[in-house]
A = this chain, B = another copy of it.
Amino acid sequence: MAPETSTLLLHSLYLVAIVAEAMTAALTAGRRDMDWVGVCVIACVTALGGGSIRDVLLGHYPLSWVAHPEYLAMTAGAALLTALCARMLRHLRKVFLLLDALGLVAFTIIGCKVAQQMDLSLPVVIISGVITGCAGGVLRDVLCNDIPLLFRSELYASVSLLTGGLYIALDDYTGTSNLAVPLALVAGLALRLLALRFNWQMPKFVYRGDWH
């Protein structure tokens, strides 16, 4: 197999994504009046938590931040910078939404690749992508004592699911990640941005029985 330039692309996007996730997580922590240590912890957990949960569930050791402690420094640093410059970042809301969408899609494809390299079955490969893409945000919301946004907001997990499925299909069909990665990236990103722009929502299941 030729050296995969898609790996380099994904790695660059990964670095962008963990910084972006750390910054949005810091703003969430700021709405809960957390102190600076709390801000750093929430940022690291949000940015690196999805991958960590995936690795623990699949038994894929060492975890990325254990092998690359510089990721911890990057996320904590980005969080502190965000706390310092929050006023200025207010005008960059759209940039952050874009970076967050990029992070979701990049995390998802990376999660799929990790499971692929472990020779796991197709459904597990896709679930691995969804966990990598979404679990960090769930952890953030649990630690901030919210109902996880994931379960109530627009197409977040669905975008992850579709991106993962598309990546697997393309990778299988073209036989090389060099095509599958950028195509799935662009498609997933487009879907997420369209969902944000037009406020697409999944149907909700509303139940008011006196259960339990």
Residues of chain A touching chain B, judged by Cβ–Cβ distance below 8 Å, are 24, 26-39, 41-42, 52, 56-59, 61-63, 65-66, 69, 72-73, 83, 86, 90, 93, 120-124, 127, 138, 142-152, 157-158, 161, 201-209, 211-212
With A28-B212, A93-B211 in contact, is A59–B57 under 8 Å at CB? no
Number of copies: 3
Which of chain B's residues have a CB closer than 8 A to the CB of A124? 65-66, 69
Which of chain B's residues have a CB closer than 8 A to the CB of A63? 57-58
Contact B90 A205 (CB under 8 A): no
Contact B30 A205 (CB under 8 A): yes
Partner of A36, one of B65, B145, B202: B202
Contact B62 A59 (CB under 8 A): yes
Contact A152 B59 (CB under 8 A): no
Partner of A121, one of B29, B69, B90, B122: B69
Contact B73 A32 (CB under 8 A): no
Q: Can you sample 25 A-B contacts with CB below 8 Å?
A: A26-B205, A27-B207, A30-B206, A31-B207, A32-B151, A34-B152, A35-B151, A35-B201, A35-B203, A35-B205, A36-B205, A38-B150, A39-B205, A56-B57, A58-B62, A58-B66, A59-B61, A65-B124, A66-B120, A66-B124, A69-B124, A73-B123, A142-B142, A143-B148, A149-B212
A56 to B93, CA, bound (A): 36
A73 to B205, CA, bound (A): 19
Chain B residue nearest to A31 (CB atoms) is: B207
A204 to B41, CA, bound (A): 14
Chain B residue nearest to A70 (CB atoms) is: B123
Partner of A86, one of B66, B72, B121, B209: B209
Which of chain B's residues have a CB closer than 8 A to the CB of A147? 32, 143-145
- In angstroms, how far is the closest chain B Cβ from the Cβ of A86? 5
With A36-B203, A204-B34 in contact, is A151–B41 under 8 Å at CB? yes
Chain B residue nearest to A158 (CB atoms) is: B37
Partner of A123, one of B57, B72, B144, B204: B72
